[in-house]
Structure 1
Amino acid sequence: MKLNRRSFVKWASLSPAIALPMISCASSENEAEGKKMDGVKPLNLNIQPISKEERLSRIAKAQQLMQEQKIDALFLEPGTSMKYFLDFDFFLSERMVAAVIPAKGDIAYICPGFEQDKVEELVKFGNKVLTWEEHESPYALTAKLLRDIGTPNQKVAIEERCRFFLYDGIKSETARINFVNGDGVTAGCRIFKSPAEIALMQAANTATLEAYKILFDSLYEGMNQYDFRDIASEAHRKLGFSGSIGANFGEWSAFPHGSSKTQTLKPGDIVLADGGCTVEGYKSDISRTIVFGEHNDRQKEVWDVVKEAQTAAFELAKQPGTTCEQMDAAARAVIDQAGFGPDYKYFSHRLGHGIGMDGHEWTNLVRGNDTPLQAGMCFSNEPGIYIVGEFGVRLEDCFYMTENGPEYFTQPSPSVEKPFA
């Protein structure tokens, strides 16, 4: 059965979760029809932004963690963590714009004098903005701020993605202070998602899965990976979101993150697609592997092994006390036993990564990580087999931990013929 634009809209209108038949090779008429995406409307997902009250609770938790770890303050520059705690977003340049959250007391911001008005517009938590002029040192200003707020433990945490020159400049002005990695505070908060965060991630995953349905209905012989990406972006846009999905065809699907070479889709090719979107700062991440046209026995064999590995890992997550490395081992054992081992030979990456406001964040489902799965943690579950010179298969769905075990944001593909549950 071949799917065209009209048949997709008919199927999708019945149920957003309905399974699509085997992906067939579209005609040139279907190509033009798919690109138009007629009938695709924005999704109504009842999206609720993170509240001011929740951000205040995040700040309070960070301060509690600092006190427990005998840290005097947390230094942030614009990025995900600053957005997470303070709902503050600013571009990066050679000029310092930063915030300091003390273990006790009021939040302070540091910026160039000529940016003060703009920064004050953006500040939502705290009201202290310290400025430095172009001939002055922001590092000396930061050192003075740290002295003023008090550093009885002589320990200040630096957010992990803070650029080195800022850390180095501050350190040169405050020789008595010991600077430490801020993960104990930032990850200590961000790794555990609240119900509001889970809801936003669910919206992001729902939107991306709908984009996939449109995208797979728009495949046509002769398209390249850049055409694929453009259709994916347009599908997200039509649905009301900003997102992207990339793909690799045929033998290039054996590169886990693809090839830069131009690829042309032809019947019988594996299509390995991977991507997501952002909803109120929260990410989705989904991979699907299909065959454009009829699959062969080899493709189905490999696809089925990867599916079994994904299932084995998820089932293990249902057992209390399961650790991150045990998840990886469970999936890897299935792949090894099927003859696609040993170790990283064909399953060449970890099983999964944490996800939230960053597409990849704490913590990873990987050997050596004995962190137990806990409620609020979110991960990708994405085993793969990559056979260079032939093709690759990866299946990725993200899940979150509840008090009663794991729950998927998106239901995994049932079979190589049915990419959607």
Structure 2
Amino acid sequence: MSSRPPQTLDPATLRARLDRARAASAAAGTDALLIAPGSDLRYLIGEAGGSLERLTALVLPAGDEAPALVVPKLEAPGYAHVPAGELGVEVVTWVDGEDPYRMVADRLGKPRRVAVSDNTAARHVLPFRAALGDAEQTLAGPIVRELRMRKDAAEIEALRRAGAAIDRVHARMGEWLRPGRTEAEVADDITAAIVAEGHTHADFVIVGSGPNGASPHHDVSGRVIERGDIVVIDIGGPLPDGYNSDSTRTYAVGEPRDADVAETYAVLERAQRAAVAAVRPGVGAQDVDAAAREPITEAGFGEFFIHRTGHGIGLDVHEEPYIVGGNDLPLEPGMAFSVEPGIYLPGRWGARIEDIVVVTEDGVEALNTRPHELVVLES
């Protein structure tokens, strides 16, 4: 359990989420949801909790039966701030020596089909399988994601705050990114700034300098940054309310040493603008991906754009919807996701531009507002 102060939503919002989850479960032909600690649990009751060897699970029947939070008695104080009574959730505690899986099975009777959180550990999934007998087990993700990927006004405002916080970190990059420093040293400064600007912690800090920038998920290394390097900075993390930031900008440490940087980077800027401009209700997620790829492919760099255009964001950094070829999901107001095309030239350098955007009633709102052009830092 986290030692940070709880950031519980008002009971009315949580009760509505529980009711929608019940309805979605019933519509999917599922008798109950078994929600493990994590972002799904935080979405539904306002507390993510934690999962070790002892079972904690929200048991949410699709029918009229009362939901229950099954939790080890020694961990129950960590859920004391959850307004269980107002949510109609019974807190059921257990102690070592009791069988919590049998407790869940007894509450559910003889379910035909149960859906288990996608992140439930195998040490819990397998005992559930034994306790629930012939019940079919499926993933809860396809049910819960239908609720979570359409953000309400409060969630969008939380993402705005997260976007503004990470923008403030990018605005300070000139303080840290300069020749003679290692990627790891720069990352340490960025990590401290992410916390100073309001995040609980830095979830990820990518500092990809020179040839390391051609690896989209490079992380950091002991490489010493050199004058003329192109550097990809991809950073983000959660604010205390649990909603995440994620933004990438590309920097030059002094004038770029490679003659093709300006022309290639201009292609990337066009691609990112085209993808954002394509976002509006009714457009398929795959069409936004295609809008990003077209300028890059036309310029001859198609083979160097090696990942999807974007991912949803909220209580998880990566969640539905995914902006990728083959996903014909129509975009709807309230969907929030990244738009982050990149061009990666192996052994040389790479570049990526990433904004978080939200689908509005008639278009799109970008939640990151830092300039998109290649920022040349004084060296």
| TM-score where L is the length of structure 1 | 0.81
- Describe the SS at the equivalent of 1:228: helix
**Is the Cα–Cα contact under 8 Å of residues 215 and 231 in structure 1 kept in the other structure?**
no
- Describe the SS at the equivalent of 2:172: helix
**Is the Cα–Cα contact under 8 Å of residues 381 and 397 in structure 1 kept in the other structure?**
yes
Larger radius of gyration: 1
Match of 1:337 in 2: 298
The partner residue of 1:108 within 65, 68, 71 is: 68
Match of 1:311 in 2: 273
Match of 1:294 in 2: 255
What aligned pairs does 1:86-105 form with structure 2 within 5 A after superposition? 86-103=45-62, 104-105=64-65
Q: CA deviation at 1:120?
A: 4.7
Q: CA deviation at 1:121?
A: 5.5
1: CA distance, partners of 2:77 / 2:169 = 40
| Counterpart check, 1:168 vs 2:122 | no
- Describe the SS at the equivalent of 1:205: helix
| Counterpart check, 1:325 vs 2:286 | yes
1: CA distance, partners of 2:285 / 2:271 = 15
Match of 2:236 in 1: 276
Q: CA deviation at 1:350?
A: 0.5
2: CA distance, partners of 1:277 / 1:260 = 16
Q: CA deviation at 1:219?
A: 2.4
Cα deviation code 1:347-380 (max 9, x no counterpart): 0101111111100001211111110111111110
Match of 2:200 in 1: 242
Letter in structure 2 aligned against 1:242: T
The partner residue of 2:330 within 372, 375, 383 is: 372
- Describe the SS at the equivalent of 1:140: helix
CA change 1:273–1:260 in 2 (3 A) is closer
CA change 1:224–1:57 in 2 (3 A) is same
Q: Which structure has more RCO (C-alpha within 8 Å, separation ≥ 6)?
A: 1
Letter in structure 2 aligned against 1:193: K
| Counterpart check, 1:253 vs 2:213 | yes
Q: CA deviation at 1:217?
A: 3.3
Letter in structure 2 aligned against 1:334: P
- Describe the SS at the equivalent of 2:18: helix
Q: CA deviation at 1:259?
A: 5.6
Match of 1:38 in 2: none
Match of 2:178 in 1: 220
Q: CA deviation at 1:220?
A: 2.6
Letter in structure 2 aligned against 1:357: L
Match of 2:307 in 1: 349
Letter in structure 2 aligned against 1:54: T
Match of 1:17 in 2: none
- Describe the SS at the equivalent of 1:278: coil
1: CA distance, partners of 2:372 / 2:57 = 47
What aligned pairs does 1:382-401 form with structure 2 within 5 A after superposition? 382-401=340-359
Identify which range, 112-121 or 159-168, moves more after superposition: 112-121
* Backbone CA RMSD of aligned residues: 2.1
User: How many aligned residue pairs are there?
Assistant: 364
Identify which range, 362-371 or 107-116, moves more after superposition: 107-116
2: CA distance, partners of 1:381 / 1:242 = 24
- Describe the SS at the equivalent of 1:315: helix
Match of 1:136 in 2: 98
The gaps in structure 2 that reach 5 residues or longer are 1-6
2: CA distance, partners of 1:107 / 1:217 = 51
CA change 1:314–1:89 in 2 (3 A) is closer
- Describe the SS at the equivalent of 2:343: strand
Match of 1:75 in 2: 34
| Counterpart check, 1:266 vs 2:200 | no
**Is the Cα–Cα contact under 8 Å of residues 278 and 291 in structure 2 kept in the other structure?**
yes
2: CA distance, partners of 1:109 / 1:339 = 55
Q: CA deviation at 1:167?
A: 1.9
Letter in structure 2 aligned against 1:277: G
1: CA distance, partners of 2:40 / 2:375 = 41
Match of 2:151 in 1: 193
CA change 1:79–1:308 in 2 (3 A) is same
Percent of aligned pairs sharing the same letter: 31
2: CA distance, partners of 1:68 / 1:307 = 43
Q: CA deviation at 1:174?
A: 1.7
Match of 1:84 in 2: 43
2: CA distance, partners of 1:99 / 1:376 = 26
2: CA distance, partners of 1:417 / 1:213 = 10
Q: CA deviation at 1:179?
A: 1.8
CA change 1:403–1:260 in 2 (3 A) is closer
Letter in structure 1 aligned against 2:49: F
Letter in structure 2 aligned against 1:236: I
Q: CA deviation at 1:119?
A: 4.4
The partner residue of 1:65 within 16, 20, 24 is: 24
The gaps in structure 1 that reach 5 residues or longer are 1-47
Q: CA deviation at 1:313?
A: 1.1
2: CA distance, partners of 1:89 / 1:358 = 11
Q: CA deviation at 1:87?
A: 1.2
